[in-house]
Amino acid sequence: MVTKTESESPGAPLSRDFFERDPVVCARELIGKTLKWDGCAGIVVETEAYAEIGDEACHTFFRPSARTFVASHPAGTAYVYLNYGMYWLTNVLVKNPENGDRGFVLIRALEPVEGLATMRERRGREKPRDLCSGPGKLSMALGITGDHHGSCLVGAGSSAKARGFFHAPSIAVIADRRIGISRSQALPWRFLAEGNAHVSVPFGRVRPA
């Protein structure tokens, strides 16, 4: 468990130990943090947790390459993949060294706060609500692609002032079903900033596949 210190004041980068925890805990606590990427930034308002073991919706359940990725990279590494051959989705690897729990946190939505002009150009949309209200949208808005798969998002390797996650004031969080999966649907492992207009699907609106 991460203990609050002076370095966790708003604007300070998240350290690797933030991601050395259970995927569900990490997904919940990423809500309200800020993701910065080359001049653009957004507040994380929606995430989903995926567990390496026992979660049929996780890539590690059916992709040997995902299992290799988990084994060979440290916590805080970007796991970026192409969804349906169309959209890059941005995840961060989490690994708890104490109990062996490992997996991914999918960043599902951001509330844009910096670089909106660049985001609008990349997305071809004007309204802030349309820029990052979904995992494919936010990757496009930030300029994240498969070239960033395996990038370090913490510490010296993160381009700390340009890319990575940063502390911000805490906000209220609620849990809901994950989206767009056909397995392990009942797990309430999607986390949202309560009442935020920038989430991809509002609380209670997800229909089981």
| Chain segment 51-95, per-residue pLDDT in tens | 999 988 899 988 899 999 999 999 999 999 999 889 999 999 999
| Confidence band for 160, pLDDT divided at 50, 70 and 90 | low
Which pLDDT does position 89 carry in this prediction?
97
Counts for the chain of helices (H) and strands (E), in that order: 4, 8
Per cent of the chain over pLDDT 70 is 92
Q: Grade residue 45 by pLDDT with cuts at 50, 70 and 90.
A: very high
SS3 136: helix
Q: Which pLDDT does position 3 carry in this prediction?
A: 37
Over the chain, what is the mean pLDDT?
90
Residues 6+ apart with CB under 8 A from 194: 171, 172, 173, 174, 203
Asked whether the predicted pLDDT for residue 130 surpasses 90, the reply is yes
Which phi and psi (to 5°) does residue 136 adopt? -70, -40
pLDDT of residue 199: 96
Listed residue (198, 170, 126, 159) closest to 37, CA to CA: 159
Question: Could you tell me the CATH superfamily of domain 6-193?
Answer: Methylpurine-DNA glycosylase (MPG) (3.10.300.10)
The amino acid at 158: S
Q: Say how far apart CA 195 and CA 153 lie, in whole Å.
A: 28
**Are residues 57 and 184 in contact, defined by beta-carbon separation less than 8 angstroms?**
yes
User: How many Cα atoms are found within 13 Å in the side-chain-facing hemisphere of 112?
Assistant: 26
